[in-house]
């Protein structure tokens, strides 16, 4: 498998040298992207994102629970990602590996840093808060899982309704209000291949990637960054990609309306 | 909880200036059994790194016919913080950190020299005082050199962050907990390329740029301490230097 | 002049062929912690694992007996192999032997030849980077230890040293002392005194 990947890598790298991408996109162009909200009515919130041939669904469940000891007046936000074995021949069943954990934590960092969800609004009573579980399930892996998952998570949160609380119980069939989401956080992921940098890498490009950079933004702020891969970025490349992320982020945010 | 004041009269809560590092001590060759090791004290951080390898890759199916694979395990000791007893073993945070640290060393280690093998890096945080992953990078780089593993550079790292509208470097624990954002960065000092970059908190474009520049301002000092630690460890008086006879 | 260099340290501002160094953008840098001799452009690592090279003499341990031959642990990330067809001896699991590296192929298969079984005796392991010091200039150090302790000693390039007969314990102790003090001068002198003292006890 590794040997095949090396061949793929050479092919993609050669294309880049001719200023081309395998699917003929511009270097800083997203694949066609669609966002559907509310696809699973049993969940409190849900969404599906298709980014090229990558496909991710996210579900939000709301539970009643106890707050963290050091934050007694705040609700709890938990974000996980599942790289389902049905999504790729390279995904194996089992507990989340480092890739799944990293993916979930990047998405989580963006939402948390920006205070998109006001956790204090999830306070119910002394010792009791609402817990928001955002779980992203990868259904098709064709590259750039981070941006697709971040988008799915955000869309699902925007679509989340809070169940009615009665006698200390949740009544999931009756909702009182929607979850308040104050920011639309989106992530832009770049791949460095040879000396070229592309936005929204497809799977072939992922295999040829030396370094990866994800920048999550709100309209005015950078709220999460994660560099990945064995390669490196220069300072100038970083500053330049921050600018691109604000610009492309605005395009992604429109998909969430 | 009451948020402590992090900046008092233009100085930080521990009296440092915005671009001032905490005292940093590095000792190469701290352990006896490991192929290479280093111990770092940075503020109240106490961090140990050990390296084994290149050695046979276990599990075998992890091995690559092209290069050595690097395994990295960053862990916090159960007694490392002022908080309650920590659970031992990896958690989601430590797994993510282990991954990004591994990627730093994949960049600098000349792995092509050792196909089919593994290089194992172990980082143990014995006491945590903010910036443990950066301290881990500093220690692991020295430990790799101490193990005689060929590298293109000695990576170094520091976190800068935001306190209100100010940007400061090398956050301590209090600043980590109550500051407004944190940006660990690791570079290859020779060419200045970024090998690790993470960020949380809300940074404007200008703040981000300032935080990066601030880090670049102090990273050469950190690198110099790493080099000094290695030279000290292997030091003999200049006139005693001698090639082994042959 | 020699100096201690560290990974990434500039050795020459021109591209040079130096072992354990690399060239980037026309400049030569060290890849290891080592002693660098500027005049002769020679870099000797101070640490490091044993990497088998053709014609090295090593001391190994048979750790698997197969139909086609023997897998040999050579204290390296890579296993040595002695083909049964080429071997004059038969070995058993755990046998200690000396061998010459016949060939290392591109996927790091290490073929060994010219082997001799080492019966009895004692094995001392030191860092392979310190082996030249144990041998000394023109075998001087090794000859001295052999003579003083009346032992048979075989030094493998992989840092394994086989000692038999005579005052084996003293020979082993002396070798470990040399390893510890490998990059200091006046070592031969000190070792010579030490050996004389110990023997006159």
- Kindly determine whether residue A230 and residue B103, on different chains, have CB atoms separated by under 8 Å: yes
Which runs of consecutive H residues, i.e. helices, occur in chain B? Answer: 92-108, 132-146, 173-178, 205-234
pTM: 0.90
The answer to whether the beta carbons of residues C60 and C33 sit under 8 Å apart is no
Q: What pLDDT tens digit does each residue of chain A (257 aa) get? A: 577 788 888 999 999 999 999 999 999 999 999 999 999 999 999 999 999 999 999 999 999 999 999 899 999 999 999 999 999 999 999 999 999 999 999 999 999 999 999 999 999 999 999 999 999 999 999 999 999 999 999 999 999 999 999 988 999 988 889 999 999 999 999 999 999 999 999 999 999 999 999 999 999 999 999 999 999 999 999 999 999 999 999 999 999 99
Domains and CATH numbers, chain A: 2-255 (3.30.230.70)
With touching defined as 3+ CB pairs under 8 A, do chains C and A touch? no
Contacts of C137 in chain B (CB under 8 A): 245-246
Contact C75, C123 (CB under 8 A): no
Contacts of C84 (CB under 8 A, 6+ apart): C67, C68, C69, C70, C90
Domains of chain B in sequence order: 24-230 (3.30.230.70)
Q: How far is CA C136 from the centre of its chain?
A: 12
pLDDT tens digits along A72-110:
999 999 999 999 999 999 999 999 999 999 999 999 999
Stretch B10-35: mean pLDDT: 94
Question: What are residue A138's DSSP bridge partners?
Answer: A56, A83
Domain with CATH 3.30.1370.10 in chain C: 122-200
Residues of chain C contacting residue B241, judged by C-beta atoms under 8 Å apart = 2-4, 35, 183, 185
Outline which parts of chain C fall under CATH 2.40.50.140.
Answer: 57-117
- Cβ of B198 within 8 Å of Cβ of A218? The answer is no
pLDDT at B241: 45
**Is pLDDT above 70 for B242?**
no
Fold type of domain C57-117: OB fold (Dihydrolipoamide Acetyltransferase, E2P) (2.40.50)
Which residues make beta-bridge pairs with A171? A164
Which chain B residues have a beta carbon less than 8 Å from that of A99?
A: 99
**Which residue from B100, B107, B198 is facing A231, i.e. has the nearest CB?**
B107
The list of chain C residues with pLDDT below 50 reads none
3 state SS of A38: coil
* DSSP-assigned beta bridge partners for residue C81: C71, C111
Instruction: Note the pLDDT of residue B239.
Output: 41
- With a cut of 80, say whether residue B2 has pLDDT above it: no
**Interchain contact, C24 vs B241, CB within 8 Å:** no
User: ipTM value of the model?
Assistant: 0.90
- Structure tokens that stand for C198 in this block: 């110990």
CATH 2.40.50.100 intervals, chain C: 2-45
| Residue B244 pLDDT exceeds 50 | no
Q: What is the CATH number of domain C2-45?
A: 2.40.50.100
Residues of B in contact with A243 (CB under 8 A): 205
Which candidate from A98, A114, A218 shows the least CB-CB separation from B99?
A: A98
- Which one of C1, C2, C8 would you mutate to disrupt binding with B, by most B Cβ within 10 Å of its Cβ? C8
Average pLDDT, chain B: 93
What value, to the nearest 5°, has the Cα angle with vertex A41 and ends A39 and A43? 100
Please, which pLDDT band fits residue B236 given cuts at 50, 70 and 90?
low
The whole-angstrom separation of Cα B106 and Cα B111 is 7
Q: What is the pLDDT of residues B54-90, one digit of tens each?
A: 999 988 889 999 999 999 999 999 999 988 888 888 9
State the nearest Cα–Cα gap between A194 and chain B, in angstroms.
14
Q: Which of A2, A99, A235 has the CB atom closest to B194's CB atom?
A: A235
Strand order in the sheet with C2-5: C2-5, C34-37, C42-45
For chain A, list the contacting chains (3+ Cβ pairs, <8 Å): B
B112 touches chain A (CB under 8 A): no
Residue B240, pLDDT score: 47
- Pairwise pLDDT comparison (B215 vs C44), residue with the higher score: B215
Mean pLDDT of B233-243: 57
Q: What is the pLDDT of residue A1?
A: 57
How far does the CA of residue B193 sit from the closest CA of chain A (Å)? 5
By DSSP bridging, strand A76-83 and strand A128-140 are parallel
* CA atoms of C156 and C192, how far apart (whole Å): 22
Peptide bond into A199 cis (omega under 30): no
Selecting from C7, C33, C183 the residue whose C-beta is nearest the C-beta of B153 gives: C7
Question: What phi, psi does A186 have (nearest 5°)?
Answer: -130, 155
Domain C122-200 has CATH 3.30.1370.10: yes
């Amino acid at each position: 498998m590794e040997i095949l990947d090396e061949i793929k890598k050479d092919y993609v790298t050669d294309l880049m040298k001719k200023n081309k991408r395998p699917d003929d996109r511009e270097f800083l162009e997203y694949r066609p992207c669609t966002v559907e909200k509310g696809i699973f009515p049993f969940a409190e919130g849900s969404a599906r994102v298709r980014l090229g041939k990558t496909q991710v669904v996210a579900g939000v469940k709301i539970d009643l629970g106890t707050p963290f000891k050091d934050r007694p007046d705040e609700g709890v936000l938990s974000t996980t990602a599942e790289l389902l074995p049905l999504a790729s021949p390279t995904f194996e069943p089992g507990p989340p590996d480092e890739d799944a954990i990293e993916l979930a934590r990047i998405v989580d960092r963006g939402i948390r840093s920006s205070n998109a969800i006001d956790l204090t609004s999830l306070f119910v009573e002394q010792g009791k808060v609402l817990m928001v579980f955002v779980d992203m399930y990868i259904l098709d892996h064709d590259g750039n899982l981070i941006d697709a998952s971040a988008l799915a998570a955000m869309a699902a949160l925007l679509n989340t309704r809070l169940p009615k609380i009665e006698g200390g119980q949740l009544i999931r069939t009756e909702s009182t209000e929607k979850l308040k989401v104050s920011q639309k956080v989106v992530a832009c992921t770049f791949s460095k291949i040879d000396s070229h940098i592309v936005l929204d890498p497809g799977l072939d490009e992922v295999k040829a990637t030396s370094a990866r950079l994800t920048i999550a933004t709100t309209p005015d702020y950078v709220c999460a960054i994660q560099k990945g891969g064995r390669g490196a970025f220069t300072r100038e490349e970083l500053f330049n990609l921050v600018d691109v992320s604000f610009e492309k982020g605005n395009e992604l945010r429109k998909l969430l309306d | 909880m009451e948020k402590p004041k992090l900046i008092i009269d233009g100085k930080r809560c521990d009296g440092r200036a915005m671009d001032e590092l905490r005292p940093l001590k590095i000792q190469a060759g701290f352990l006896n059994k490991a192929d290479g090791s280093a111990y770092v004290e940075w503020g109240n951080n106490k961090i140990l790194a050990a390296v084994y390898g290149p050695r046979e890759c276990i599990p075998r199916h992890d091995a690559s016919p092209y290069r050595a694979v690097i395994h990295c395990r960053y862990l916090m000791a159960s007694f490392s913080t002022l908080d309650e007893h920590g659970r031992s073993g990896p958690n989601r945070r430590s797994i993510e950190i282990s991954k990004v640290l591994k990627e730093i060393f994949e960049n600098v280690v000349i792995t092509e020299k050792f196909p089919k093998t593994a290089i194992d890096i172990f980082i143990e945080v014995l006491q945590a005082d903010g910036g443990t992953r950066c301290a881990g990078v500093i220690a692991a780089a020295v430990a790799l050199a101490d193990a005689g593993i060929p590298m293109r550079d000695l990576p170094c790292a520091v976190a800068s962050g935001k306190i209100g509208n100010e940007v400061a470097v090398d956050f301590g624990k209090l600043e980590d907990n109550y500051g407004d954002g944190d940006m660990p960065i690791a570079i290859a000092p020779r060419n200045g390329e970024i090998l690790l970059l993470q960020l949380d908190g809300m940074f404007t474009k200008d703040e981000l740029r300032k935080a990066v520049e601030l880090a670049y301002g102090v990273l050469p000092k950190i690198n110099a301490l790493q080099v000094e630690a290695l030279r000290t460890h292997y030091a003999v008086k200049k006139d005693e230097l001698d090639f082994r006879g042959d | 002049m020699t100096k201690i260099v560290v990974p990434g340290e500039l050795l020459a501002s021109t591209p040079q062929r130096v072992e354990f160094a690399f060239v980037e953008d026309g400049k030569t840098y060290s890849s290891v912690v080592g002693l660098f001799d500027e005049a002769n452009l020679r870099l000797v690592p101070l640490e490091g694992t044993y990497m088998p090279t053709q014609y090295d003499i090593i001391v190994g341990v048979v750790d698997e007996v197969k139909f086609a031959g023997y897998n040999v642990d050579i204290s390296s990330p890579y296993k040595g192999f002695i083909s049964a067809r080429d071997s004059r001896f038969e070995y058993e699991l755990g046998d200690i032997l000396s061998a010459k590296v016949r060939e290392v192929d591109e996927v790091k298969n290490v073929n060994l030849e010219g082997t001799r079984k080492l019966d009895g005796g004692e094995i001392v392991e030191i860092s392979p980077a310190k082996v030249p010091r144990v041998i000394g200039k023109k075998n001087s150090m090794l000859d001295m230890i052999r003579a003083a302790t009346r032992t048979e000693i075989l030094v493998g390039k992989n840092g394994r040293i086989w000692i038999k007969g005579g005052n084996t314990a003293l020979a082993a102790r002396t070798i470990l002392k040399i390893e510890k003090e490998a990059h200091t001068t006046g070592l031969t002198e000190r070792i010579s005194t030490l050996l004389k003292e110990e023997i006159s006890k």
